Amino acid sequence: LPSLSTSITDSIQSTPKPTIIEQPDSTMNSIGSTDNDVTCSSALDIMAFLSDLRAKYAHQSTFLQSVEEMALSLQPLFEDPERGDFYKRAFLVMAEPERTVSFRVAWVDDKGIMRINRGWRVEFSSVLGPYKGGLRFHPTVDEGILKFLGFEQMFKNALTGLPLGGGKGGADFDPKGKSPREVQSF
């Protein structure tokens, strides 16, 4: 195992760090291209952005709370006279997932009854590398919970120094009390 550990460490240390290229302010006055996308003025108003997020994701309070708390903790960076706009642009890009996939899973329980559960995969910021995150199966899982967990996972992965983005997947399926056949059927 020491040689495996050494080779992993060497691989991590030799992995090139991503280069972030700053765009001139004149090209960064909006994000996205459809009417549903959040846009910001050239002043990069974080409060207006958060207000738009609240309207767009009103039913996802856990996700909204995590984004708002992160914005609050990053406020000193946003106010930096030299790099504040760069940090704001980075936050605006990271605050919403790059991709959310929703799906349903139809399965048959041991009594022969057809059951349907909902599932999601949420992926945040592939800037550093591929998405990494686990799965959660619980009856209370919904898209907002997985967005919250994926958003937090993105920062957790970045802090490890590994070139990974953040992601999370799961479903409102409860494996507790299910037979092995039912879990496999799901």
pLDDT in tens, 19-74: 444 444 433 333 333 444 444 443 468 889 999 999 999 999 999 999 999 999 99
Indicate if the pLDDT at residue 3 is higher than 60. Answer: no
Residue 87 lies in a domain: yes
117 & 50 share domain: no
* Residue of 88, 132, 147, 168 marked active site: 168
Residue 125 lies in a domain: yes
Q: pLDDT at position 143, please?
A: 95
125 & 170 share domain: yes
Domain that holds residue 167: 99-185
Residue 165 lies in a domain: yes
Q: What is the pLDDT of residues 126-135, one digit of tens each?
A: 888 899 999 9
Distance CA(114)–CA(127), nearest Å, equals 41
Do the Cβ atoms of 169 and 120 come closer than 8 Å?
yes
Q: pLDDT at position 29, please?
A: 36
Residue 162 lies in a domain: yes
Q: What is the pLDDT of residues 81-111, one digit of tens each?
A: 999 999 999 999 899 999 999 999 999 999 9
Number of domains in the chain: 2
Boundary-marking domain end, from 96, 118, 144: 96
Q: What is the pLDDT of residues 138-167, one digit of tens each?
A: 999 999 999 999 999 999 988 888 899 999
Q: pLDDT at position 44, please?
A: 66
Q: CA angle, 163 as apex, 84 and 144 as ends, to 5°?
A: 70
Q: What is the pLDDT of residues 168-182, one digit of tens each?
A: 999 999 999 999 999
Residue 23 lies in a domain: no
CATH code at 127?
Answer: 3.40.50.10860
Distance CA(149)–CA(63), nearest Å, equals 8
Q: Indicate whether this model's pTM tops 0.75.
A: no
Active site residue 88: no
Residue 92 lies in a domain: yes
Top pLDDT among 104 and 1 is at 104
Distance CA(74)–CA(72), nearest Å, equals 5
